[in-house]
Structure 1
Amino acid sequence: MELPLRQPHFSGALLLLLLSNLLLWEKASSVPACMAEKSGCWNPLMETFDSAIRKAETLRTLANQFYVELYHNQFSSGKFATLTSKLVRRDEIVFRAASYCHSTLTNPPNKGIQYITIEIPEYLKTLINYVGAWISPLFHLVIELSAMKDVPETILSKAKEIEENNREILHDLRWIITEVYPTSKKKENFPSWELLSFLKSNSRNSKFLAMFNLSHCLEYDTQFFLFHLRILKCRITGKDC
């Protein structure tokens, strides 16, 4: 399966023009249901977006730190060095672990200007599944690391913080789609992580292969969590564009 490209690079002027034109069309076409109510939802909506974005910023930093820590901490550096060596030799299993992320099955709009052209309700649902794809892997990561006797506190604590922030971002996204698009069908479909059995294995080699995949993919995906949340805030509220 083709991997998503890195975050698209557009000039600020072009991106602003595209978003401005889209926002004008969206404002003319419809107003989110909760904003039309007497009490409205503007303040809680803005607060929820800001909260989710702050958590995504924290998650992005933690994921990067976790990635670096696994490569340099004595607990895992030897195993990761071996895996990197196998990766250079194009070992099939290790190459897949380093290059394939299960979250791509949610088809996130990470290419070109898909994030501008996709309809907002569909965008929200896709992002919910994208973030939700990490719920099970991170939950089990914390369990498995907690059960390992020699795991450093720095690694375990980061894993716990990552799991918590990811779960809270998903909660915020669910609130947003429920409030802004209450009639939209909210079908969630979180893809399975194919290396979960490796993580839960009694084999340390298998466990570290799973962590190798998880750290690579999470370090990549969290960049897009933050990017998409900012774009969604712009498209739904017209703010911070």
Structure 2
Amino acid sequence: MFAQHRSTSGTGSRLLLLLVMSNLLLCQGNFCTFLCPHVDDLCLNSLKDLFTRATNLSHYIYNLSSKMFNEFVSTYYINITNSCHTTSLHAPEEKEQVEHRHVSLIRWILMLLYSWNESLYHLVMNLRSMKEVSDAILSRARENVKKVKELQTFIERVFSQVSILGRWPEPTLSDRHHSAFFNLFHCLHRNSRKIDIYTKLLACQLLHDKC
């Protein structure tokens, strides 16, 4: 759930990035005078660098997730998926809707990123207990934990983490346990693709008049 917004001085630092980003989002393709009063090259380049790094990170996370998913599928040949723990987080599906709701888009990106924090942590912990899991998958899972947190700092730090996975099964070699991992890899692969697409779309809309 979202953290409650309170108009006290103690929350100023916590909301600073939200206020800055909201002003940028409301520009709809033009840089606000609040962010770049003189539209100088230094300010514009800093903003472009921010979004360049964010989009590069989102694409890197997607590539990592794809490799993890493909390797797990090739090893265990499982093709059964349940609903993802992020199913309730509905993203704007229409491009026109996204263009007119930048604030909603950035909130959705943040919620999706936060919703994976604890899930990725549990994923790494459980993978470590499975001797048959390759070092490559474990290494990519650890890298994803770090990169997701990095991307969060680029986008925003305002919303609380969404409730995620419940109790995990005990680390065994059962088909049920493998299915749980498959489902998580599948959801991570799908969600990371959405994050990559919408982060790039957001950057494009904020740095250019048209995409």
TM-score class, shorter-chain normalisation, is 0.7 to 0.9
Pairing 1:61–2:63 present:
yes
SS state at 2:93 partner = coil
Unpaired segments of 5 or more residues in structure 2?
A: 1-24
Pairing 1:103–2:103 present:
no
Aligned residue identity for 1:227: I
SS state at 2:161 partner = coil
Unpaired segments of 5 or more residues in structure 1?
A: 1-22, 88-97, 176-185
Corresponding pairs, count: 185
Per the alignment, do residues 49 and 112 of structure 1 end up closer, same or farther by CA in structure 2, a change over 3 Å counting? closer
- Residue 18 of structure 1 corresponds to which residue in structure 2? none
Per the alignment, do residues 106 and 36 of structure 1 end up closer, same or farther by CA in structure 2, a change over 3 Å counting? farther
1:1-241 mapped onto 2 (5 Å cutoff)? 26=28, 31=32, 33-36=34-37, 41-73=43-75, 77=76, 80-81=77-78, 84=79, 87=80, 98-111=81-94, 113-118=96-101, 120-174=102-156, 186=158, 188-194=159-165, 196-198=166-168, 201-205=170-174, 206-238=176-208, 241=211
Q: Deviations over 1:206-232 (max 9, x none)?
A: 542321221111111111111111111
Q: CA deviation at 1:70?
A: 0.5
Kindly indicate whether structure 1 or structure 2 has the higher relative contact order, using CA contacts under 8 Å at least 6 residues apart. 2
Q: CA deviation at 1:156?
A: 0.7
Percent identity between the two aligned chains: 21
Q: TM-score when scaled to structure 1?
A: 0.66
Q: Deviations over 1:38-92 (max 9, x none)?
A: 987422221121111111111111111111110123xxx1xx53xx3xx4xxxxx
More helix by share: 1
CA distance in 2, matches of 1:172, 1:148: 33
Q: CA deviation at 1:129?
A: 0.8
Per the alignment, do residues 109 and 32 of structure 1 end up closer, same or farther by CA in structure 2, a change over 3 Å counting? farther
Q: TM-score when scaled to structure 2?
A: 0.74
Please say if residues 98 and 105 of structure 2, whose CA atoms lie closer than 8 Å, have aligned partners that are also in contact: yes
CA distance in 2, matches of 1:192, 1:204: 27
